[in-house]
Chain A
Amino acid sequence: MTMAAVDELAFHEFEEAANLLVETPHAATTCRSDQLTSQDHVAVTVGSSVGYGAEEVEEEGDKTALLQEEKPQPGFWTFGYYQSFFDVDTAQVLDRIKGSLLPWPGHNFVRHHLRNRPDLYGPFWICATLAFVLAVTGNLTLVLAQRRDPSIHYSPQFHKVTVAGITIYCYAWLVPLALWGFLRWRQGARERIGPYTFLETVCVYGYSLFVFIPTVVLWLIPVSWLQWLFGALALTLSAAGLVFTLWPVVREDTRLVAAALLSAVVLLHALLAVGCKLYFFQPLPLERVVPSLQAASLPPNILLPPTQPHPMATS
């Protein structure tokens, strides 16, 4: 194996390794020292429908051994099972957040950032933060509006915290469940690259909601078109991240199903954004102020003919 050939294959190796890891996430991999020179069978079994070059496959043995460590999975009723999903560093969480903020067409979030180590910390605390930020800024908007216009009745509206929490958590956990179920069902019909696990889907959705947190804070600015602009920006970034992540899995399917699935995902996301904007940041109706002034100045029996400003003897 010449150095030029190694360099030529260097970039492709990474993707091949990631794809192989996708197909057989629980495969036992061994590290062979003479992998580069021998033409032996590799320990990682390659799916029959995947047609990659044989000489590229045999480079993957030590790569996948490095990427995946062999450890026994504890049962789901033990504490240790859930502890394995919190096995992230601060740096990793920040890196995943950055990855969700800047989606890129070839840049699959699950492959490049999660790397088969999904975590539950990110989705859970991003949802909690978003719910509280929604409630707090919605309340702040009402406070600021009342300072400008004292006729608006202010109340803390504490029930909005509950509503925000339930909405965000249901969205971020039930929609991935439905999506994962749908992809599994479609995958059952064809032998292709497997879909993401449930936790990876939850991770993708959870981290994609992060961009809404600064957006919601920016919605404090009471300029309406600016609010819609920020909302549209955030929705674009977030939905783009989801679409680019789902595209490799969905493109194997028929065009109709792929288009329908992606548009459903984007539509649900848009519904969430618009719903939050309208419910927590109700545009305060200014026309409510004007009729109250009119009603105060006119006596009640003269409201029917609006052209007569002062009381006259009418029947």
Chain B
Amino acid sequence: MATLRRLRQVPRHLLVCEKSNFGDDKSRHRHLVETHYHNYRVSFLIPECGILSKELKSLVMETGAYYFVKNLPLHELITQEFINTFVKEGSCYALSYNTNIDEDNTVALLPNGKLILSLDKDTYEETGLQGHPSRYSGRKIMKFIISIDLMDLSFKLDSKKYERISWSFKEKKPLKFDFLLAWHHTGVGDSAMMSYFSSYGIQEHQPKVAMSTMTELQCPVLQSSELRGKPGAACSPGELLDWLGAVFSNAKLNNESNNFISTYCCPQPSTVVAKACLCTITGFILPEKICLLLEQLCRYFDEPKLAPWVTLSVQGFADSPVSWRENEHGFQKGGEHLYNFVIFNNQDYWLQMAVGANDDCPP
């Protein structure tokens, strides 16, 4: 019987649905966007829209470059110069590239100055640094997390702690990773990062943008006040999330219930829109840019529009060691941690945050 039960089990996943209004002072939308640090894919969908407005288009095209450095030794990220130039001036983000969080050692730098290392047991023991076991270890602990506060360290450069970390990264266990880097700052000088890491062959990359227009698209009917949906009147956030996935995957939305191949259809009640604009940006995208995009989409309804709502979805890197804030993120069967805004024309919004098995509940 236990075997039969296990055959029907699925990995635990969570979906948090929130409803609020952008005009509410206590609305946490900015905070939640800004604390989701490593974003891989940002996409938005605007029903009843054929061409993007000038402002939106320029925002999308100027999402900002990110950088790629190969074989960067870890001790370069704890130098006083690096901390003063990038970590203290603006928000610096880094994530090790091509490292699987469930198999390899992974490193991430958060804009608050925390350097997070997710290491396997052997590497952790070889570094000789203080950390804690991963929350999702199971019975045998195979993963350890070390968290180094660079802001705190930079004030005590001659402390024993800094000496030990420095010794560990330079002599005891010199670790090297390929990194994706991004830096948000208010000053001028976009090439500061390029010149700082020029000896490591740093490359600049632009996020990829894909825009398309769909015609005769079936869209679910939503009511901003009905967060659980209303049978016959409005769809629920879960149905909307699946529908969005189907649209972005180009699945057919109007299959018959007796179709052999697929019976998926748009959740009911639904309406058909003449055209809809889809845009996807992929790369290493800064939360600050996503905030700007969100604000611009809110302003979409400043003038009367046919669309009742627009959506903005953001997907995080599956191999990031953190999801929101410093919540640990893991990869069991899938490493999803994503969120989706539904912005209504009355400035109400829905926010859905979804995480997989080895993840804490989104804040």
Chains A and B come from one and the same complex: no
